[in-house]
Every structure is written in structure tokens, then in C-alpha cells.
Amino acid sequence: MKKLTDFNYTHVLVLGMAKSGTAATKLLLASGIDVRVNDMKASEDDEIVRTLTSMGAEVIVGSHPLSVLDDIEVIVKNPGIPYENTIIEEAQNRNIPIITEIELAGRLVEESIVGITGSNGKTTTTTLTEAMLASSNQPVKVAGNIGTVATDIAGSLAEDERLVLELSSFQLLGIEKFKPKIAILLNIYEAHIDYHKTFENYKNAKYAIFKNQTSEDYLIYNADDPNLIDAVKHAKSIKVPFSVNRKLEGGAWIDEESIYFKDEKIIDRKMIVLVGIHNLENILASVAAAKLSGASNEGIQKVLTTFSGVKHRLQYVDKVNGRFFYNDSKATNILATQKALSSFEQPIILLAGGLDRGNEFTDLIPFLKNVKVMVVFGETADKLKSLAEDAGIPVVLKVTDVMNATEKAYQVSEEGDVILLSPACASWDQYRTFEERGDMFIQAVHTLV
């Protein structure tokens, strides 16, 4: 494993173990740094506590005593821990720097990183970029918010390998020197205000992805997003825009027939499997990153003609007797469902519902013009039923759950229909996660005859 050499702290507090905290602790210890770990939920009998203790860490569990800050020079914070945490607030009072685990990963492999952030589309773009490089025989690994801890991968990354990182605003808020060689800014919508408190704070966290870049780095950004156009004016890096609306001289763009990078045609649009205008944005960003990283057109084409979506994100599931089934269980808010509905010109049977967060869903009405049937479930079933009736949808069915919704949708469908699970709600009223909800839909589709 690589060790930290450009790290000027000798006494570190890792706050919160989980996967990222554990990986950070192991890296710091291997680099000869004194580490104290504090986790409220862990117990002394946990195997990982015993392991880290045996490796030389001081581990304090079960509470957050302020004494854990004694002699500490920097905190590596789990991204999910809010800044209102008592330890974090006291650390700020003492002017102790607070970073996240990706800062450590950046110290290990700075020049190899493709960093991807945005309010929507991060996972799809990350997956596409990695696949395009791999398909072009470019050595590449993927990590970050997509599920694998960045330092775990960075510590063993070969010199010729790229590291593609999906980055959340929570992670980017805790950086000092971190900078990707290639940064991607997909879009900015108001989100995570409960954590960041204001939209301005949220935007600034996202924009941190390019704050340390130099004139030798690249910043790929959505030239159709007014927030980003204004923000990137301050970037020092080479700007590479993408647009689904107009031709661009120095970036990625589309016309009615094809996708281009600069003046080079990459692929005909009719060959692309992935649906939706928002996915065209993700594709353009991925193409730009892949081309800048040395990918071939043949490698990019191979991915775009076979890739049908990340699981639970407008994922094509199957065609059953002429009906097309799409799993968009990750659509836990109205904006995501709007994007899904905008992706199809065919008649749609929409499956929606879930946890009631107080939304009235009226912003969905302009996007329901192709919806012929709406099947509703969960806590929001009655709200969505009323909405569908107000929107003039001919058939509205209220059912118990996703399995029942899939069966009912198929029964009333016709050949050529799209049957779309895009709930516009969180899953927690009936399912532990949106993944569980989506898996239930997939299972139901595969039982149809």
C-alpha cells in the first residue's frame, strides 16, 4: 500500500468509523501517523475496534467526549456526520482543520483522478466513464460515493491507472489540496439543504471540485446550466463545455443525428441504448472525460451501444409481450421523475408512490401528457391519485405495493407501452431502501408471462 508523504499532520482524529473512517485510519497508521478514532455507535467488542486497536490506533467508542480533541491537529470526518456535531463545533472553535477521506486519496494519486459531481447523474456518468476507458484498454478503477472507499483503491493504484471518483457535496466540503486532473460538473439543483443549510453553501461545496485545479487540469461542465456557466468563470483549469442544445467548438455536443467531441463525430444517436435527454448530458460528459483520458472511439461506441443504465436509475429491465419495463426506483424526488417521464415518447403507465414528505406533486402535471395509466401505492397513494385525476389521466389504480402495481400495470397495458417505476418518493414507508423497492419491481417483471 502507498503511504502519505505530503501530509503535515502527526496527530489525527478520525471521527466516525464506517468504511471510509476505517480505511482512513489504516492508511494513516501505515504512514506512521498517530491516530485516535471516535465513534458513537461502535462498541469495544466490535471486531473492527479490536483490529484498529491492535494496529496502534487509540479507539474511543460509545460517546463523543471533548477530550478526544486533545493534542489533535486535524480531523478526518465521516462525510455523513453533520457540522452541528459537538466535536466538530468545538474543533471549529479551536481552528482545527476538518477534512474527509477523499483528501487523503488525493494526496496519494492526484494526477490520476477523474472526479465527477453534480446533483443528478453522478453514478451513471461515473459508470460510463470507467466503462469507456476499460473498453479502450485504458487501465482504470472506480471508487468514491459509488460505494468503494477512495483510499482503499488509491493506495494500490498502479502508475498507469486512472481513478474515476464519484464525489458528493459532503465529501467535497472537506478538502484542502484535493484536485482531480479532470473534473466533471454535471448540473446543480437545490438539494441537501438540511445538511448545507442554504443553496449557496451547497453550490460552493460542489464547486470545490475545481477550486485547486491549475491551468494543466481540465474542467468539464454543463454549458446549459446557468449556475455552472457563472461558477466556472473563476476556474483556472482548461474549460471543456458540453451541451445538448448547441454546437460547441471546444467540447462535447449533439445534433439531431450524432454525438461529437469538438469537431469529431463519435457515434450516431440512434445506436445509443440509454434513453432520456438527461442521459445524453451524462453521455456527453463521459465522452469528454474519456477522450481527454485517451479512450478510442471504438471503445466509447462499444459502451454506448450496450449500456442500458445503472441499476435502479432508469434501468431497462425487459420487454414482455411488446411492453417495455423500466426501473427508476432511485427517483426519490419529483425532479427525478420529471426527467424519467421526459425520456419517452411512447404511452406510459407510471408506477409512483412511497413515503409522504409533505409534497403536493403539482410540478409533475406538465410531464404527465404521455401517461395513460397511473398506478399509485404507499403513503402518498391518495395524493397521487388526486393529482392524476386533476391531470386528466384516464385510468388511476390504487394498489398495496410495487409487486401488485407491476401486475396491475401489465394487466391494463397494450403492446408498445412503457411501464415505468419512477416513484417520486422515498421508499422508507414500505421498503428499507430504494434498491429493495427496485429489486421487487424487477422480480415482479420476471414473473410475468
- pLDDT 10s digits, 211-228: 999 999 999 999 999 999
Segment 72-80 shows an average pLDDT of: 96
pLDDT band at 335 (very low <50, low <70, confident <90, very high): confident
* Percent helix, percent strand, percent coil in the chain, to nearest 5: 35, 20, 40
One-letter amino acid of 47? E
Of the listed ranges 266-280, 372-386, 401-415, the one predicted with least confidence: 266-280
Residues 106 and 63 occupy one common structural domain: no
Is 310 among the domain residues? no
Cell numbers linked to 57: 490506533
pTM of the model: 0.84
User: How far apart are alpha carbons 446 and 236 in whole angstroms?
Assistant: 51
One-letter amino acid of 87? I
Task: CATH number of the domain at 38, please.
Answer: 3.40.50.720
Whether the Cβ atoms of residue 384 and residue 353 lie closer than 8 Å to each other:
yes
Range of the domain at 348: 315-446
Task: CATH number of the domain at 422, please.
Answer: 3.90.190.20
- Measure the CA angle with vertex 153, ends 151 and 157; round to 5°: 115
Q: Which residues are registered as beta bridge partners of 74?
A: 12
CA distances from 78 to 82, 219, 409 (A): 9, 27, 42
User: Taking the CB of residue 233, how many other CB atoms lie within 10 A of it?
Assistant: 8
pLDDT at residue 21 tops 90: yes
Per-residue model confidence (pLDDT) at position 146 = 84
Segment 297-305 shows an average pLDDT of: 97
- pLDDT 10s digits, 128-171: 999 999 999 999 999 998 879 999 999 999 999 999 999 999 99
- Measure the CA angle with vertex 259, ends 258 and 265; round to 5°: 85
Residues 155 and 186 occupy one common structural domain: yes
Per-residue model confidence (pLDDT) at position 111 = 85
Per DSSP bridges, beta strands 323-327 and 315-320 are antiparallel
Per-residue model confidence (pLDDT) at position 52 = 97
Is 107 among the domain residues? yes
pLDDT band at 237 (very low <50, low <70, confident <90, very high): very high
CA distances from 329 to 187, 229, 378 (A): 21, 31, 14
Residues 218 and 347 occupy one common structural domain: no
Is 49 among the domain residues? yes
Q: Which residue, of 66, 82, 99, is where some domain finishes?
A: 99
Residues 90 and 212 occupy one common structural domain: no
CA distances from 160 to 111, 113, 146, 220, 297 (A): 10, 11, 22, 22, 20
Closest Cα to residue 223, out of 200, 205, 247, 199?
247
pLDDT at residue 204 tops 80: yes
Whether the Cβ atoms of residue 13 and residue 38 lie closer than 8 Å to each other:
yes
pLDDT at residue 39 tops 90: yes
pLDDT at residue 191 tops 80: no
Q: Which residue, of 259, 277, 304, is where some domain finishes?
A: 304
Residues 239 and 117 occupy one common structural domain: yes
- pLDDT 10s digits, 387-399: 999 999 999 999 9
User: Taking the CB of residue 329, how many other CB atoms lie within 10 A of it?
Assistant: 28
Cell numbers linked to 429: 414507508
Cell numbers linked to 387: 393529482
User: How far apart are alpha carbons 162 and 160 in whole angstroms?
Assistant: 7
Residues 296 and 326 occupy one common structural domain: no
Q: What is the mean pLDDT of the chain?
A: 95
Helix axes 101-109, 18-30, angle to 10 degrees: 50
User: How far apart are alpha carbons 157 and 159 in whole angstroms?
Assistant: 7
pLDDT at residue 410 tops 80: yes
Segment 395-416 shows an average pLDDT of: 98
Is the model more confident about 196 or about 175? 175
Q: Which residues are registered as beta bridge partners of 316?
A: 326
Q: Which residue, of 67, 99, 131, is where some domain finishes?
A: 99
Is 309 among the domain residues? no
pLDDT band at 360 (very low <50, low <70, confident <90, very high): confident
pLDDT at residue 6 tops 90: no
Residues 293 and 148 occupy one common structural domain: yes
pLDDT at residue 344 tops 90: yes
- Measure the CA angle with vertex 132, ends 126 and 136; round to 5°: 145
| Main-chain phi, psi angles of 148, to 5 degrees | -105, 135
Segment 25-31 shows an average pLDDT of: 96
DSSP E strand stretches across 174-251: 182-185, 218-222, 238-243
Please state the domain count of the chain: 3
